[in-house]
Structure 1
């Protein structure tokens, strides 16, 4: 890169840093939200790990939720002490790391520095990503690990050797300890790479073997802990049955997260309360898994009819960070209702401007910029998580870690379509 190129990149990075910090620090200064619900659970488990209580609730060991995010917070608190401010500052760092990997992925997928810069700017300005910086959810850590794994996996398809597949496997293994859904994503990407003739069968198999070996090695210590402490070698967590039953039961017409839950569901889940110890979470997981599968077998039409509703929940605009920020701020004596009302329409418009190109991508595939690479980098991961939602239950928060990839697809389509449009002095897009 020459001096002008280096100078241009330097100016661009300064602009991105200003946009990144300005939006997020501005939101965090305007909103001071006390943690609640899942956030409070994560914080308490992290403090318990730091205090030597192990991963437990009320003194009873648990694996109901994956350990990754509480363990991350515990490591942070070992340096800073238990601190909401430290956790929120970590959200800034995690978001920055994720966006660095997005830039690398976008540059590889599009083959264009300009397109990669555009995707990065769109992701930096994503209102939903800004809103979540204030909240203690696992999704930002998951997003950073997921994009790091995708970057290493895509690089492994282009270059021989075992280091990149191993690095990808390590990232996906750590991501799976945050959200179990990451486990099979590499296999989906490798299968798509073969189908799209992006790589050969032998290369896909070789990368997959090394990657999944590293992935399992990253998870193995936690699985061993579960075998020793819970008496069963649970791979990551024990909430799979609950999640499957949430979207496949007689009382959930829409296939979404039910809150408040009806009395029948509460009884079927044996009064499960995540804030209280679960007497036998392994047995409960198995019972709920079997109950959900029985419902699907006995009511296949109903199960299929719920899939569109689940996908609607997955893709729709996520109001959760605004709702919880408003409630959390109120608990701190702060009223931000006017601010929330002002930013919501713009945030929702931005959301759909990024999501709609992903719906159009399969139909405009030939006109996208390097469509096979864009599909592997973004469309396949989005489709993979959407498919999981169609089986389990829908919630917009599950889409959060993928938001940067929507920006990549939007840029790939826009750049490809612009390239195909004839311009003055050209014939069919080429110089006359």
Structure 2
């Protein structure tokens, strides 16, 4: 039976790989914006100039994706962009496997385990975003791996999953700060585990100490390079883009904010840390003066974050793109309906239900504070797929039970 299930998972991975490789081969996308920054960071690092982005910043962008993906693949592929895309494919396939493993860990039946893997395997954006030189694929993999650790630690504290969680947390901190919102679920999971209070405290201490120790070299590097022990210097900048008199809830260029005409001067005079800190202060001042507008805007961001993909893309808008976008819309709506449905069905463990929805809520909440780009929800979609699989597994169980009664 196990061999048959392994064969089924392998078949799902083959389908997922074909879809993602086809996207890499057929989707005409030229790197832009953040992608160019990541590529510049990798190229400058390989050239001995350090992790410097395309605008000359030393710590503005998260360093994880260039360090963990772009730099290694540059030693394998002659063309960095091509190598990065195939690395993204591998990461996405890893997410498919983790969806299956997490579904198994929470006690879903064969139907639920395969459903979790299939949903993410055929989810179109997972293939399309393999083409982008962006951090979301790596962040999705790391967040799933942390979720897997959380599920296991919530059963019983163990040194293996504690250390793995610490390593993954350090990775997430370097790749995408929003992913750290999952730590809320980690703390709750450890506290709800079937271990002694001392073991729970020890686990949290070990996880925190090891992850901070792993991040120490990067923090020290930034202290020396930009004058502040930070993970990156874009926090205040992004906070201001999401909270200013012109904010819409979506990403906006700093040029469209009230400080647009002064930004380059601020950046030159105050440096990365100083300019970002100044924007953070401005954002807080706006929030204090406009608390109701801030609250209303935050609610809008929550809606925008989960809004169906009805927006136009970057392509020509031709027939094939319209077909793909229509299929994506259908997939997304079905996925969300099934995931919401999991709230109303019995999970194998109520503890897992709490932990999963805490992860989804916390990750959404982070973007309610900053701003929304549709690409930013991709790292959490695999966890949504597992929630959807819970609904499908429940339906399968009822069908079998009804058949047995008949």
Q: TM-score scaled to structure 1, two decimals?
A: 0.85
The residue aligned with 1:21 is 17
The residue aligned with 1:46 is 42
**Aligned: 1:293 with 2:271:** no
**Change in 2 beyond 3 A, CA 1:78/1:7:** closer
CA contact (8 A) 2:305 2:377 kept: yes
1:386 and 1:420 map into 2 onto residues whose CA distance is 32
**Change in 2 beyond 3 A, CA 1:425/1:69:** closer
Q: What is the SS of the residue equivalent to 1:256?
A: coil
**Change in 2 beyond 3 A, CA 1:233/1:405:** same
| CA apart distance, 1:404 | 1.1
CA contact (8 A) 2:13 2:93 kept: no
Q: TM-score scaled to structure 2, two decimals?
A: 0.90
| CA apart distance, 1:166 | 1.2
| CA apart distance, 1:168 | 0.7
The residue aligned with 2:385 is 407
**Aligned: 1:349 with 2:319:** no
Which of the residues 369, 372, 381 maps onto 2:351?
372
1:258 and 1:59 map into 2 onto residues whose CA distance is 18
**Change in 2 beyond 3 A, CA 1:361/1:291:** farther
The residue aligned with 2:206 is 210
The residue aligned with 2:240 is 245
Query: What is the 5 A alignment of 1:136-151?
Result: 136-151=133-148
**Change in 2 beyond 3 A, CA 1:198/1:289:** farther
Query: What is the 5 A alignment of 1:75-154?
Result: 75-154=72-151
Greater Cα offset, 25-34 or 174-183:
25-34
1:207 and 1:112 map into 2 onto residues whose CA distance is 30
1:312-364 C-alpha deviation (Å, 9 max, x unpaired): 221124578x834x2xxxxxxxx6733211211110110121123334444x1
Greater Cα offset, 46-55 or 304-313:
304-313
CA contact (8 A) 1:24 1:130 kept: yes
1:211 and 1:396 map into 2 onto residues whose CA distance is 31
1:405 and 1:43 map into 2 onto residues whose CA distance is 29
1:267 and 1:59 map into 2 onto residues whose CA distance is 17
The residue aligned with 1:9 is 5
1:307 and 1:166 map into 2 onto residues whose CA distance is 35
| CA apart distance, 1:384 | 1.0
| CA apart distance, 1:101 | 1.8
| CA apart distance, 1:27 | 2.1
1:397-431 C-alpha deviation (Å, 9 max, x unpaired): 111011111111111123235545761553xxxx9
The residue aligned with 2:258 is 264
**Change in 2 beyond 3 A, CA 1:44/1:197:** closer
| CA apart distance, 1:189 | 3.1
CA contact (8 A) 1:369 1:415 kept: no
1:210 and 1:262 map into 2 onto residues whose CA distance is 45
CA contact (8 A) 1:371 1:412 kept: no
**Aligned: 1:310 with 2:305:** no
CA contact (8 A) 1:68 1:174 kept: yes
1:64-100 C-alpha deviation (Å, 9 max, x unpaired): 1111111121122133345211111101111112222
1:163 and 1:368 map into 2 onto residues whose CA distance is 26
1:280 and 1:113 map into 2 onto residues whose CA distance is 55
2:41 and 2:299 map into 1 onto residues whose CA distance is 35
**Aligned: 1:384 with 2:384:** no
The residue aligned with 1:423 is 402
The gaps in structure 2 that reach 5 residues or longer are none
**Change in 2 beyond 3 A, CA 1:161/1:58:** closer
1:272 and 1:417 map into 2 onto residues whose CA distance is 57
The residue aligned with 2:313 is 323
1:148-185 C-alpha deviation (Å, 9 max, x unpaired): 22212322333443231111110111111010123342
Query: What is the 5 A alignment of 1:173-188?
Result: 173-188=170-185
CA contact (8 A) 2:153 2:190 kept: no
| CA apart distance, 1:261 | 4.6
**Change in 2 beyond 3 A, CA 1:305/1:296:** same
| CA apart distance, 1:59 | 8.7
